[in-house]
Structure 1
Amino acid sequence: MAVSGGEKNIPSSNIPTDDRMEWVPLALTLVEYPQGDWLGKMFALASLMPFGIIAGFVALVLFRRDLHTIAFFIGTMVNELINLILKHTICEARPMHRNGLYTEYGMPSSHSQFMWFFAVYVVFFVFIRLHHMNNSTVLENVWKTAIILSCISMATMVTVSRVYLQYHTWKQVLSGCLVGVIFAAIWFAVTHLFLTPLFPIVASWRASEFLMLRDTTLIPNVLWFEYTNSRQESRARGRKLVSMKSQ
């Protein structure tokens, strides 16, 4: 059947229809919860935390270009690779297949492994790497405790959510927790003892200068350093601007 207006004839057999097209959900981001269950909805939102953390990693790598942040992100990706290898080696199914939406293996839980790797690495980073020398010990302990409790709380919430929403068994999420904790300790040790001494050399490479990669290892607290330096620079530029206007 010809189409008016000069358009070409398109054989109907080339046009996919819903009857012939198989739709596959992206299980990576798909989270279901019981209708009307506010706790289930909260846990479903909590299950999306790993994706928010990954987005934050990408933003930090792009805009801060810090070698330790890049090493942390690489460790996160290696942790995910380990999870993938373990899943396809153990080949343990999930506790249930809701309408066949989830067909990949569930042992160990990737969400739990990701969150506990992140949380434990941050704990090591706060205790060993992060020091705020310009503040009192009490205040320093307060914000360190807040960071640690926040990370552990998020990891716990995501772990419980995977069982509550019936995507994993307790054995699967606890196995993910164990693998994440162990690999976080190993990766932090590798980064702190072996990679960190190489950061000044890497930062001096011509390619690193072109990419604006930097090493902040010797700075006790990067946040405080950037805050004080940006404040001083802002004040200096403000005084210069006032001086130019008064002339």
Structure 2
Amino acid sequence: MRPPFGCVSDCGFAAGAPGPGRGGGSAEPGGGSGSARGDGFFPRPGGRRNGSGPGFVPGVRGSLRGVRRRGPLSRCRRRERILRYLYIDRVTEIESGKRICGVKTFPLSEAYFKGHFSKAPLVPGSILIEAMSQITGWLVVYTHRCETFCAISMIQNATLPTDLRTGTTVELHGELMDTDKNWSHCRAWVERDGERIASADRFLFPHFKEQRPEETAQFYRDIGWLEPRWDWRAS
């Protein structure tokens, strides 16, 4: 199983590593391994499409074949590993083709806080970029009814806070600016107590065909990002 959208790790930003600084800038695929943990969970960019795909975790097709061989316990463990790298606690609103809103809290127990300013931990900017890319990526997949997955290829004009403390709850907002069968263009921002603290003017997602949309939809039902009765087949 894998969330069907790319993340900043595909662009050379490892989770928990310093991301783009305050002010304008762009990020494009950098060819890094994608994972700061070195556990093989994130594939290298340009992985095999029939197994790992260009998404931010191994593809549904390849990973589920391995899970079936290893049994239900391995399926649960794999899902736990995926959830560690999802930076949205819940999706509160979603409107196909238009907008999405979600919530994220940053408890001190998160792995990326270990050794990161231990006396006064701060949320790394790369985590906010990751969260914005995930929520906009999910909006794209939802709009295309789980029949496509996407890998982020460009981020432009990212602005990030320097003082986001642990325990803070933020709202994640995303808008779909333009989409067709091949590409989607989104923008996103983060609010704390109604004040915008982070934003990115452009997330560019190329699309790839999803071979098992029903399994993708079921995964997102299980984690609460998708309403239980949502049917990917309905127009």
Q: Which has the higher strand share?
A: 2
Assess same fold via TM > 0.5: no
Q: TM-score range by the shorter chain?
A: under 0.3
Q: How high is the TM-score relative to the length of structure 1? A: 0.24
Q: How high is the TM-score relative to the length of structure 2? A: 0.25
Q: Which has the higher helix share?
A: 1
